[in-house]
Structure 1
Amino acid sequence: MQISPPKHLTSYIKHYIFLGNSEDNMKKLRLFTDGNTGLILSDNINIFDISGNDLPLSFFYGQLTQYKDLFIKGRFSLIAVVFQPYFFNAFLGISVKEVQDQIISVKDVVKNEMHLFQEKLFYKTDPKLIIDDLNVYFTKILSKVISSDYDFVTAVQHYILQNKGSVTLKDLEYFTGYSERHIERKFKNYMGVSPKKYSNIARLHYFLSLINCNINHESIIGLSYNAGYADQSHLIKEFKNNIGLTPNQYLKTENKLAVNFIELN
């Protein structure tokens, strides 16, 4: 279940995702980059990474440059809060480039502030009510003064998305009136990746939207050209680096939980 935030939060929170499992089985989930950061809140979850390391009950994740496989055993309820990437900095006061590819325990950065939400998940409160409470919580966070840098970074991000990732640093220099060095420094600090990397992510997700809504049954090659890829080999390399699958393997994946979250067999 995917739920949008209220209008006043959409510049900072992309959406919420609620996932639950009522069976005592093992699920393998793959999280891959969509250019955003986020927060996972869970009840009494048994979750570990591909090396068998236990992950925190609830955690923040930074900007991803490679996919992560998560293994969840048994019954669980969780809410994923997908941030606009720069909200990480506004919320926690941490440079996003410092937490690239990292998972950080909620307790390490906000102490017991999330305990109430975890408790409500444990007692099976309606997830929509929990999300309503989260909206109130994040609204209070945003009552603080927001730096003017957010307006700059947001404008650059929107420009990249509007152009479906097909932009160069020279394009951004012309759009903003700032030097490439200034743009890159601000972008890495607030977004966690360079403008070039974010543009590649935006183009990949535009291609994903094309293949997921391919009502005219156009070929993968044709859709890749439409998304701005010079050739199919470039697309497949980019796809496998970010998602760990080929486009055809991705299409055969039945349980797509979100734009960057899939369940694997």
Structure 2
Amino acid sequence: MQELHPEYRQLKIPVPKEFESIFTYFYYAENSSPDPVTKTLLPSYQTIMLFCFGENAFMTTQEKNTIEVNQCIVLGPVRQAFDYTLPAGTSILVANFKDDAFYRFFGKAIVTANGTHPNEILHDNCFTELWHQISVFPSPEEKTNHVLEFCRPYLQNQDEIIRLLNQFEDPGLNPIKAIASQTNQSERTIQLKHKTQFGYSSKELIRYNRFLKAITIIEKELIHQKKIEWFSIIDECGYYDQSQLIRDFKHFINLSPSRYLKFQDDICRSGSA
């Protein structure tokens, strides 16, 4: 099957092991065609930092608000899908902060719905200078490596409660209750720390991870050209019924599951693997 945009290039760039607790990976997209290209970016529940090279890129939210991206912007945590448009000759590099990493860099976890230039968070012009530095590197890998080295001095130590939450793996237990009991603190204290440093609640994350598991299963079945077994997905992901699955799809990406399949070629994922 012929690609809809053969001159549109995208790739995911892994990070060195020492940065794996900070970033999932970097996402790069480049439009070498003579026309603008619009794609949909899936929600990641991560805060992202996006660098734009060439003409200004545009992002459109589900509420039809349009955000113009000049040089650099931070958004997040990205709770719902949004469309982004790359004009001809434009490229973007997206850093996906993992878990509490954005808080460890910037001292806050939530930015405005319309995005914020990172200079405004730090009250410093350093990210404008960073954009000029990475603009001269020809490859996305070189750009990524330079961003990693730039970020290294900003990283603060991880809070012990957050470390315990990150390492919690028992799906049968409520992580907030379990960590509260383990540390002899109130559930409210753990909830507030989770919200403050992650930018979202534990309940929100559970719902998103269920949706993400469904998306991952669908992607694997599409790769192997298998028929999508919706009721098997409902059962495996812990949905009560088909209507709950549909509600999650419409909540996160404003598409029904069947329409998600139809528009697969125009949907990208920059965040969680």
Q: TM-score range by the shorter chain?
A: 0.7 to 0.9
Instruction: Choose 34-43 or 49-58, whichever is displaced more.
Output: 49-58
- Name stretches of at least 5 consecutive residues in structure 1 with no aligned partner: none
Moved more, 221-230 or 120-129: 120-129
Name the counterpart of 2:100: 86
- The Cα RMSD (Å) is 2.7
- Greater shift, 250-259 or 131-140, is seen at 250-259
The reply on whether 1:65 has 2:79 as its aligned counterpart is yes
Match of 2:5 in 1: none
**Alignment partner of 1:152 is 2:174:** no
Residues 100 and 107 of structure 1: CA distance in aligned 2, closer, same or farther (over 3 Å): closer
Cα deviation 1:17-74 (Å, max 9, x = unaligned):
1110112322223234222111001123322343445333310112133332233322
- Label 1:208 to 1:173 Cα distance change in 2 as closer, same or farther (>3 A): farther
Q: Tell me the CA shift for residue 210 of structure 1.
A: 1.1
For the 8 Å contact 1:4–1:14, the answer to whether it is kept is yes
Alignment counterpart, residue 138 of structure 1, candidates 130, 151, 174: 151
Are the equivalent residues in 2 in contact too, given 1:58–1:105 (CA < 8 A)? yes
Q: Report the Cα distance in structure 2 between the residues aligned to 1:23 and 1:14, rounded to whole angstroms.
A: 29
TM-score (norm 1): 0.83
Per the alignment, residue 45 of structure 2 pairs with: 35
Is 1:226 the counterpart of 2:239? The answer is no
Equivalent residue for 2:119, pick from 107, 115, 129: 107
Unaligned runs of 5+ in 2: 1-10
Please name the residue that 2:54 is paired with.
44
Matched position secondary structure for 1:54: strand
Indicate whether 1:76 and 2:87 are aligned: no
Whole-Å separation in 2 of the counterparts to 1:109 and 1:168: 30
Residue equivalent to 1:244: 254
Could you say which residue in structure 2 is the equivalent of 1:197? 204
Equivalent-residue separation in structure 1 for 2:152 and 2:59 (angstroms): 32
Which amino acid is the alignment partner of residue 45 of structure 2?
A: G
Question: Given the two structures, how large is their TM-score scaled by the length of structure 2?
Answer: 0.81
Partner amino acid, structure 1, of 2:104: A
- Structure 1 residue 124, shift from structure 2 partner: 5.6
How many residues of Structure 1 are paired with residues of Structure 2 in the alignment?
253
Identity of aligned residues (%): 21
CA distance in 2, matches of 1:81, 1:181: 31
TM-superposition CA deviations, 1:132-190 (whole Å, max 9, x none): 11221222222xx414x2x4224324436x63x98575456556654321221011001
Where 2:146 maps in the other structure, the secondary structure is helix
Q: Describe the superposition over 1:102-140 as per-residue Cα deviations: whole angstroms up to 9, x where unpaired.
A: 410133235432345533554461111111112212222
**AA in 1 matched with 2:95:** V
> Kindly tell me: are residues 210 and 35 of structure 1, through their superposed partners in 2, closer, same or farther at Cα, counting changes over 3 Å?
same
| Shift in Å, 1:217 | 3.9
Q: 1:45 to 1:242 in 2, by over 3 A?
A: same
1:56 pairs with one of 70, 73, 78 = 70
Contact 2:165/2:175, CA 8 A, preserved across alignment:
no
